[in-house]
Structure 1
């Protein structure tokens, strides 16, 4: 009786294996004719019966079907799977694992070769969609495939992918991997100043400031005329409380790229820190000359002028003589009027910029008794701000 049961089980298994292979063949035929939906249905059903036999070819076909889904330009086919590349990749690895006679190596290698651009394109798409963690995983898949034994006869050091993996890791705040890939980029002389600047940036964020500064200066030594490197040095010293060093590097940047308004704006910010306000305004004006839509420079000029008038207003308030006070305060109101155009211009650039609206409201309030129109504008601005709360 036990022997009969065993025979029945074997017969059922053979029958299942035959059905499985039939489904695999059907999936391959559907794939060849471009019917990916039918191919997926057939391979998904056929591969469920793996307990009866380890059938390497089934996984090869599964990989091809799912890779075909990824590569298809038709939305209806693309919707068949959310992660077709990863499913295909795992299927190819399973095919190699089950391969007893070495028949899978050549066809799997051919498919894996095509997966390199597939994963690269996927990584770029995910990066552009701001899915930086997903982009990193896809770039790493490219590097994993390229390092497989099947490609050892023609080894590839894909420096562009290594650098881009660093970028994706940095954007996803995976600083450990960002450091790893930027170090590799530098080791393979790829990325130029950007590799040094970005490595410095992630080292600092990871808490290793000493090494961060080392790479910043090493990058500047190697690429002294690279604006990317200069910007990183400028930012480091501006934020680090050493404005003179930042100014030196800014002068270098301006000499290299005198039409770049952002450098003049940055120097204006430095002059504000050292309380050289006339020089700061001069730099902001130069930035606006180069880029009339430079909102920050326009706003900063307005604020410089407003602060200067406010300081004078405080001095006038200390005048005890009524006649002298009345004469002086008239001049202050004229100066407040002179400030108005700066912030009205800011609102032309950004109509809903709240800080400028609040400053204008205060200015109109100060001037409400000078001209009737200022009281009207005060009420108008107040109404707009109240509507934004």
Structure 2
């Protein structure tokens, strides 16, 4: 009886193994005929019979089915799985783990090779839809696959473009640690040129690593001294820092490379403003406007300079006790306010929705409302704009 019982249990196990294998075989057949829904149904069902046997081919087949789902041009099939590439990748890894005799090594390698462009395409799709975390994960899968033992003998070239894009995706996903890691690898492989240094510097700055951030900016400039992007990043760094005058050297370099670029002259005007060299600042803003007559920011900055002059005059007037002198000072103050009007008006002509200029014009016309009838009308016009914003 005991022997008979053993034989019955063994036969039952064999029948279950055959059932599993029949599901796998069915999935293969459905896959060959392009019936991916049936193939998925069969391989998923086959996975339920693993108590008797762990067959590497099951996972190879599962990987092929799910990879085909991703690659299918038919929406009805691509909707069968939300993460087909991840499922396929994990299935191939499981096949490798179980395939101790390396029976399916070549087949898995062929599929993994095809996963590289699949994950790359997936990453691009994620990136374009602003799912940056998804893009990062997909780019990282490409790098993981390319670094697998099975590809060592192939001496694959380092996929520097993917490393750079992984950094970019990580940066946009606010994963600053990963972004810094990939940008540093990009620089190590001499890819990305000046942008790699600039992007890494920004990531480090956002990570509160100011010294390291500046170090990479300077290294980038040393290596790419004529790169406009690198210059702009250095200029912005110093303009927003405690020593804006240090930006002057890089602005002069930028102007020598692109003398028709209005933004460089405007930036230099900002430097002069911050160092209290107002006349030089005005000169730079006016040069910027000769290069680009629609540079509304330069008009705005010139207007602010004029308002600052008026503010100083107002302070002086407030301290005057003599009525005649006070009246004369107020008359001069109103004249200074009038001289600011054209700058902000020009801003509105170029950029009609510029709120700061609209608000400033409202305040200026209010101060001047008793000087001319049209000034009161202008005040009411700009007040209405502010109220409707």
Same fold (TM over 0.5): yes
CA separation of 1:278/1:73 partners in 2, compared to 1, >3 Å: closer, same or farther? farther
Deviations 1:57-109 (A, max 9, x none): 22112112211222223333222222111111101111111224322111111
Q: CA RMSD in A?
A: 2.7
Q: Is contact 1:146-1:155 (8 Å) kept?
A: no
CA separation of 1:269/1:97 partners in 2, compared to 1, >3 Å: closer, same or farther? same
- Return the alpha-carbon distance in structure 2 between the equivalents of residues 299 and 213 of structure 1: 30
- Return the alpha-carbon distance in structure 1 between the equivalents of residues 222 and 169 of structure 2: 26
Confirm or deny that 1:50 pairs with 2:30: no
2:102 corresponds to: 102
CA separation of 1:4/1:131 partners in 2, compared to 1, >3 Å: closer, same or farther? same
- Return the alpha-carbon distance in structure 2 between the equivalents of residues 187 and 329 of structure 1: 64
Deviations 1:252-289 (A, max 9, x none): 11111223332222212111101222322332333344
Task: Give the aligned length.
Answer: 388
Deviation (angstroms), 1:361:
1.7
Deviation (angstroms), 1:357:
2.6
- Return the alpha-carbon distance in structure 1 between the equivalents of residues 23 and 296 of structure 2: 65
- Return the alpha-carbon distance in structure 2 between the equivalents of residues 5 and 386 of structure 1: 91
Deviation (angstroms), 1:7:
4.6
1:136 corresponds to: 136
Residue segments in structure 1 that go unaligned for 5+ positions in a row = none
CA separation of 1:182/1:370 partners in 2, compared to 1, >3 Å: closer, same or farther? same
3-state SS in 2 of match to 1:152: helix
1:358 corresponds to: 359
- Return the alpha-carbon distance in structure 2 between the equivalents of residues 387 and 3 of structure 1: 93
Confirm or deny that 1:145 pairs with 2:145: yes
2:23 corresponds to: 23
Confirm or deny that 1:344 pairs with 2:345: yes
Deviations 1:326-347 (A, max 9, x none): 4554444344234333323433
1:195 corresponds to: 196
2:272 corresponds to: 271
- Return the alpha-carbon distance in structure 1 between the equivalents of residues 324 and 19 of structure 2: 108
TM-score, structure 2 length as denominator? Answer: 0.88
1:303 corresponds to: 304
CA separation of 1:184/1:364 partners in 2, compared to 1, >3 Å: closer, same or farther? same
CA separation of 1:76/1:235 partners in 2, compared to 1, >3 Å: closer, same or farther? same
- Return the alpha-carbon distance in structure 1 between the equivalents of residues 186 and 46 of structure 2: 45
Equivalent residues in 2 for 1:46-85, closer than 5 Å: 46-85=46-85
Q: Is contact 2:69-2:80 (8 Å) kept?
A: yes
- Return the alpha-carbon distance in structure 2 between the equivalents of residues 294 and 34 of structure 1: 60
Farther-moved stretch of structure 1 (261-270 vs 126-135):
126-135
Deviations 1:292-316 (A, max 9, x none): 4444333323222222233333334
CA separation of 1:49/1:261 partners in 2, compared to 1, >3 Å: closer, same or farther? farther
3-state SS in 1 of match to 2:153: coil
- Return the alpha-carbon distance in structure 1 between the equivalents of residues 291 and 9 of structure 2: 84
Deviation (angstroms), 1:290:
3.7
- Return the alpha-carbon distance in structure 2 between the equivalents of residues 233 and 383 of structure 1: 42
2:217 corresponds to: 216
Confirm or deny that 1:173 pairs with 2:174: yes
Deviation (angstroms), 1:247:
0.4
3-state SS in 2 of match to 1:347: helix
Deviation (angstroms), 1:318:
4.1
3-state SS in 2 of match to 1:379: helix
- Return the alpha-carbon distance in structure 1 between the equivalents of residues 293 and 3 of structure 2: 92
- Return the alpha-carbon distance in structure 1 between the equivalents of residues 79 and 344 of structure 2: 51
Farther-moved stretch of structure 1 (342-351 vs 230-239):
342-351
1:235 corresponds to: 236
- Return the alpha-carbon distance in structure 2 between the equivalents of residues 356 and 158 of structure 1: 49
Q: Is contact 1:271-1:280 (8 Å) kept?
A: yes
- Return the alpha-carbon distance in structure 2 between the equivalents of residues 207 and 24 of structure 1: 54
Farther-moved stretch of structure 1 (161-170 vs 199-208):
199-208
Farther-moved stretch of structure 1 (173-182 vs 7-16):
7-16
